[in-house]
Amino acid sequence: MALRSLVPALLRATAPRRGPAPFSSVAAAAPRERPPEPPTGPDPQPGSGPPRPAPSPSPAPPVDFSNTATAYQSRTSWELLRNLLVLRVCALEPLLQRHQQLLQVSQKLLGRHLFDRLMKMTFYGQFVAGEDQEAIKPLIHHNKAFGVGSILDYSVEEDISHEEAEEKEMDSCTADAERDGSGAGKREKQFQVHRAFGDRRDGVTGARTYFYANEAKCDHHMENFLRCIDASGSASDDSFCAIKLTALGRPQFLLQFSEVLTKWRRFFHQIAIQQGQAGLPAMETKLQVSELQKSLESMGITAKCEIQSWFTGELLGVSGTVDLLDWNSLIDNRTQLSRLLLVPNVQTGQLEPLLSHFTEDEDLQMKRMLQRIDVLAKRALEVGVCLMVDAEQTYFQPAISRLTLEMQRKFNTQKPVIFNTYQCYLKDAYDSVSLDVELARREGWCFGAKLVRGAYMTQERERAAEVGYEDPINPTYMATNEMYHRCLNHILEEIRHSSWASVMVASHNEDTVRFTLQRMEELGLHPTERKVYFGQLLGMCDQISFPLGQAGFPVYKYVPYGPVKDVLPYLSRRALENRGIMKGAQRERQLLMKELKRRVLSGSFFYRPVA
């Protein structure tokens, strides 16, 4: 069986503009309930969806990020000292560079029990909530009492060697057709696996990495995510849980599907250039149907009668134009495009099949990945937890984002249950956000987004430079900031008009949080509406999270948990992300010192936090 028979099913959902669409035909292999009818939205126009209820007349309370008494109100002085100690250790560069060897030696010298205790008194205690769902409950309730919610994140990672990681990646990202030579050379460089970048952990401090071992391991990850969803559901009534799609299946499928989506989108832009529309934002680019038909015919892409049938859909082409959303809907069962489609390869100028073959085994692996995603989304809906799908590397991300969008179509019919993640360090972040907002409007489902800057910058840049494709990352930090604000603005404008959209501002950047608060005020968005959330990691930037929580803004901590020995890779990354040179770490140290001095001078050093 071929990818060609599955991708259309996955993508089919783009076609009907107002109705629910199946998540996938493969997901149907598992028992499935029909989703409730989505609310019928009004005409597609900016901010469609039910209007927001009248905002609260009282202004949002001010938030002061320098008031250390509020920021650290939930912490004992001992916890502040521990935080300071951890940040001081992270500032010792020679120590940091050898921290992995030091951890190994300490484990051997101290033995398991003492080592665990030492870690719990220091790094683990600072950044990890506990060993399991039971152990983390007190911390979750404590933070909640101070206005800060939790996004549970089971942080166990395999501590495998660099060589092992490379080996696993090469194996799990190479299709059988490539191995036996029949499909070799067809895949674009960006979407091929490269041994030098096989260890996806290299240069990444902000995110966890999963390597594919086998299907049983993916089932195991799914079980962990399910436990996490259940624990989130029982911990509070408005909680989130984070998942990563690379944990749920063989990444080969994500690579191939990402390539298909990228080629298809690029093909649209190529035709747009032919029609004199180079450089327009994605949502403003509209192809003239008559010219498009001529172009496709002259390229010999498929027969004339077939091309004509592409543009006879209920709404497609009524205006005489096709936009990128219409275009995406063309990879669809109705048009049987998948069977016929050839697209020009920009590098070779040759026409090539858009979709390639999967073996039976690969086909099964893909189905099981989709089933696992479906199982998680259903459970999240059942227990009233929002599911955040993390964004990952650019060679997987188009597929991850697209699969997440399919879940949103199916599950976000009444409220945003599934949140997609948008990485604003990407040059095309605004296009992705604006297209998905528009799609949600047209189809009448609830848009939910987590906005981040992005965790894989160094690795992405090196890979693009070495392998030889365009760097997907914005050229400067300033450009990423501008992109973040632009995307955020777009979503906030959407929220202003419609109660269907929500966003999580996932950032440790104080300026970004200030910008959000300012825009919320200007647009009349009140924190009690709970449409704009904030997210930070546990143990980092309490001076942002707690004042926000105390002022009534919905704010959440990513709460990692797991046994000490299994979260060491996570702790390594936290140490690197808090290294002394980081502006955020320096500011945190100053604020911690300020608060400790204040407590000593005011005789409240033994202060006991009470909500």
Ligand X SMILES: Cc1cc2nc3c(=O)[nH]c(=O)nc-3n(C[C@H](O)[C@H](O)[C@H](O)COP(=O)(O)OP(=O)(O)OC[C@H]3O[C@@H](n4cnc5c(N)ncnc54)[C@H](O)[C@@H]3O)c2cc1C
Interacting residues with ligand X (CB under 6 A): 206-207, 390-391, 421, 423, 425, 452-457, 473-474, 476-477, 480, 506-509, 512, 535-537, 558
Least distance in angstroms from the C-beta of 71 to ligand X: 17
Integer CA distances (angstroms), 465 to 113, 166, 186, in order: 46, 19, 20
Taking the least distance from each CB to ligand X, the nearer of 116 and 428 is 428
Taking the least distance from each CB to ligand X, the nearer of 272 and 473 is 473
Quote the DSSP letter at residue 2: B
3 and 257 Cβ atoms separated by less than 8 Å? yes
584 and 541 Cβ atoms separated by less than 8 Å? yes
Taking the least distance from each CB to ligand X, the nearer of 205 and 277 is 205
Phi, psi of 347 (to 5 degrees): -80, -40
Q: Round to the nearest angstrom and report the end-to-end CA distance of the chain.
A: 59
Written as six digits, the tokens of 378 are 């259903």
Least distance in angstroms from the C-beta of 130 to ligand X: 19
Taking the least distance from each CB to ligand X, the nearer of 224 and 336 is 224
Least distance in angstroms from the C-beta of 506 to ligand X: 4
Taking the least distance from each CB to ligand X, the nearer of 205 and 275 is 205
HSE-CB of 129 using CA atoms within 13 angstroms: 25
Written as six digits, the tokens of 549 are 């929580």
Burial (Cβ within 10 Å: 0-12, 13-18, ≥19) of residue 258: buried
Taking the least distance from each CB to ligand X, the nearer of 74 and 421 is 421
Least distance in angstroms from the C-beta of 246 to ligand X: 11
Least distance in angstroms from the C-beta of 385 to ligand X: 16
Quote the DSSP letter at residue 473: B
354 and 263 Cβ atoms separated by less than 8 Å? yes
Residue in this structure with the two tokens 């004042």, named with its chain if needed? 547
Residue in this structure with the two tokens 């803004």, named with its chain if needed? 553
459 and 393 Cβ atoms separated by less than 8 Å? yes
Taking the least distance from each CB to ligand X, the nearer of 413 and 507 is 507
Taking the least distance from each CB to ligand X, the nearer of 349 and 475 is 475
Q: How far apart are CA 324 and CA 267, in angstroms?
A: 10
Cα 22 to the chain's mean position, in Å? 22
Least distance in angstroms from the C-beta of 388 to ligand X: 7
Least distance in angstroms from the C-beta of 421 to ligand X: 4
State whether residue 502 is helix, strand or coil: strand
Least distance in angstroms from the C-beta of 151 to ligand X: 7
Question: Which stretch of DSSP H or E encloses residue 239?
Answer: strand 239-243
Taking the least distance from each CB to ligand X, the nearer of 107 and 404 is 404
State whether residue 533 is helix, strand or coil: strand
594: closest CA among 37, 25, 65, 60? Answer: 65
Least distance in angstroms from the C-beta of 484 to ligand X: 7
Taking the least distance from each CB to ligand X, the nearer of 68 and 481 is 481
Least distance in angstroms from the C-beta of 392 to ligand X: 7
Taking the least distance from each CB to ligand X, the nearer of 268 and 425 is 425
Least distance in angstroms from the C-beta of 261 to ligand X: 18
Question: Which stretch of DSSP H or E encloses residue 314?
Answer: none
Least distance in angstroms from the C-beta of 420 to ligand X: 10
Least distance in angstroms from the C-beta of 414 to ligand X: 25
Q: Which residues of 70-98 are buried (b: 16+ CB within 10 A; e: fewer)?
A: bbbbbbebebbebbbebbebbbeeeebee
Strands (E), 269-417: 287-288, 321-322, 342-344, 351-353, 385-389
Taking the least distance from each CB to ligand X, the nearer of 212 and 422 is 422
Which amino acid belongs to residue 135? A
Taking the least distance from each CB to ligand X, the nearer of 310 and 558 is 558
Question: Which stretch of DSSP H or E encloses residue 561?
Answer: strand 555-561
389: closest CA among 412, 410, 418, 369? Answer: 418
Integer CA distances (angstroms), 329 to 202, 325, 408, 469, in order: 37, 6, 16, 27
